[in-house]
Structure 1
Amino acid sequence: MISVPMKEFFDPILLSLKVSLIASILVFIVAVLIARFMSRASFRGKTLLETLFMLPLVLPPTVVGFILLVIFGRKSWVGRSIEWLFGQPLVFTWYAAVIASVIVSFPLIYQTVKVGFQSIDRAIEDAGRSYGANEWQVFRWITLPLAFPSLISGFILGFARGLGEFGATLMLAGNIPGKTQTLPTAIYLAVDSGNNVLAWLWSICIILISFLMLMVANRKITNL
């Protein structure tokens, strides 16, 4: 067994939790707004747009990571603009890991939340409007509570997907210990270096975290 200092052991765990939490919150807000609009809207090109939304779900993560690297790399105007604004490139930072997690987890959250919105009887929302409620009030007090199980499921799935993200993160954020090394990349490095015990410990951690989140989500949905 190869010993590892406690800080080096917990660094990937804490970073993964931070990246997944931030990414899940960001993508959840965006996915809810877009899913709400798309569940009610009808326009030319809707199918094409939704196909684009779901594309990261079926593409190899390395392809997604490569595209993100081209978009945010130092040779693109986006990458140069970010570096000019913040004084450092985005690539190979933990912020890049957040972006990778946002992109790969969006399809899961979006599709789950959209199904929840589509399952709501529009007559209930129309009843709220008939009593004088504006669109925000209908959304806040009728739509969101009725879609709550789907919202919870979408958030948990997005968090779990971000927690397990490997390919796109490795391409865009790299695998720098103590800086951009998340649990999946840490496990990969441990296996590659022959430290199977450490790989098992990290694997157990990510399994336990995912299991506990799913169990809490299932309990909350069951009690509704």
Structure 2
Amino acid sequence: MKFLTLGLVLLSVITTVLCASKREILELTDSNFDTFVGESDEWLVEFYAPWCGACKQFGPRYEAAAKSIPDSLPVKLAKIDVDSSPGLASKFFVTRLPTLFHIKNHEVRQVDTKMKVQDIVNFLKNQEWENIEIWNGYFSPFSIVGTGVGYIGIFMKKLSNIPAWMVWTGLGGTIVLMIVSFGIAAQNGAFSDEDAPVTAGKSPSSPRPQKSRKVD
């Protein structure tokens, strides 16, 4: 009898674990985003940072919602670390954390992060996202503008990782090189009047003839 009870308990635990982990929250990055997010897919994506206090409060609700979403819904859940994926953070114009987006057919809608667990489930189940205005197509993360902004975000992140002394050394060297080049050009007469075109048979340096005044 004890073995039967123990077996039922273990079966219950295993079932609970399997049910709890049936919908995984994927970690999307700059490198794998385009591979995972297809045009016809439906996604709910959270932008967060490990150091963000508000993100730590929203995270458990987001994970609980993922476990409560019915299997019949085709929506996929993901999260993006803005520190390790600056390109995506720039493409989606993320200015505060956490930020939640719903994506369907590459149409992007920003979602309220103050929703409770059941609110998030109902939001997806009842397709309440249809009541939210779609982002302007010109500034969509999937537009040419969004793609360009993403590259700028990656570049700025790489630039910030360069030691300050290297940045200032490179800038100072460029300025010195420009000054030296200007001085050499001036010394060689690159800016003299000798190379100026001659107009009407007269040299630009020739003095203009003075009109004589008639003295009574």
TM-score normalised by length of structure 1: 0.25
More strand by percentage: 2
* Greater radius of gyration (CA): 2
Give the helix-richer structure, 1 or 2. 1
Give the TM-score of the pair, scaled to structure 2.
0.26
